[in-house]
Structure 1
Amino acid sequence: MNLASVRIITADIEPLVKFYEDVTGSKIIMYTPDFAELQTPQATLAIGSTNTLALFGGNEIAETAANRSVIIEFRVDDVDKRYEEIAGTIGDKLVQAPTTMPWGNRSLLFRDPDGNLVNFFTPVSPEAKQRFGV
């Protein structure tokens, strides 16, 4: 089994697509006005509008901008450099500037426009580097 994607359901897809393009530096593929994907070699971040909920059984199956338990994580080459590059985009959504965690990752934590937590991290300890094969 492989994790294929994580999907964010949003009431306004365009600001979320722009935000993730800005912070990742990657182009997001817009398949329809209601569905987009940010593809990486390991997994995909999908972004769907609330209009897509009808295809899954109804609008009540997901609530936009209500996540309080998931962190969307991206491994980056240099989290400190990336922070300098995107600090203006993050603005007041910063939760924690780059900090070295006890498990060996240096992490930057911020929120996207819908309030979802996003973590950019770089393995820095020998053990963390080994876990990620870097």
Structure 2
Amino acid sequence: MSVSISGVHILVDDPEAALSFYRDHLGLKVLNTVENGGYTWIVLVTESQPEVQIVLEHPHGGRSQANGEAVAALLAKGELQMVNFQSENLDETFERVSAAPGAEVLQEPADQPWGVRDFAVRDPAGNLIRIAQA
């Protein structure tokens, strides 16, 4: 039996700002956009792993009001799990991503004691994103 990852959801409070970050600056491709109940889910993929879908979703989309507010509060605090990406050209990716409106650079490209060279940013919603040299 073989199991693999088919998708990852990233919570965002401003879909347009998130789309600009992930599509225009990180270089992901839009696969699909789904509207339901006043909320939008944006499905993105990478060129190197098009089988893995990255879904941008609003904290209130598909949740009760109370649960949406709880998730939104965690998002606002930057307390959700980080997302890790790889890049063939880390320095070029850093230049593009660090120029994104709303992005906050936490760490410039550096060699890490765990054996990778990477950098860390927060996306416009406050999610921690680490990108490593492939």
Q: Do these two structures clear the TM 0.5 threshold for a shared fold by scoring above it?
A: yes
Partner SS state of residue 96, structure 1: strand
For the aligned residue pairs, the C-alpha RMSD in angstroms reads 2.3
Comparing both structures, which one devotes a greater share of its residues to helix?
Answer: 1
Distance 1:91-1:15 versus aligned 2 partners, 3 A rule: closer
**What does residue range 108-127 of structure 1 map to in structure 2 within 5 Å?**
108-123=119-134
CA distances 1:23-42 after superposition (whole Å, capped 9, x unpaired)? 22222234224111111316
- 1:52 pairs with 2:50: no
- 1:86 pairs with 2:88: no
Structure 1 gap segments, 5+ residues each: 124-134
Measure how far apart 1:84 and its partner are.
Answer: 2.4
Measure how far apart 1:77 and its partner are.
Answer: 0.5
CA distances 1:96-123 after superposition (whole Å, capped 9, x unpaired)? 0001112221111000011000011114
The sequence identity of aligned pairs, in percent, is: 23
Q: Distance in 1 between matches of 2:110 and 2:15?
A: 30
Q: Distance in 1 between matches of 2:12 and 2:98?
A: 23
Match of 1:61 in 2: 67
Match of 1:26 in 2: 28
- 1:10 pairs with 2:12: yes
Structure 2 gap segments, 5+ residues each: none
Match of 1:99 in 2: 110
Distance 1:9-1:84 versus aligned 2 partners, 3 A rule: closer
When the two structures are aligned, how many residues end up with a matched partner?
120
**Higher relative contact order (Cα pairs below 8 Å, separated by 6+ residues):** 2
Distance 1:11-1:26 versus aligned 2 partners, 3 A rule: closer
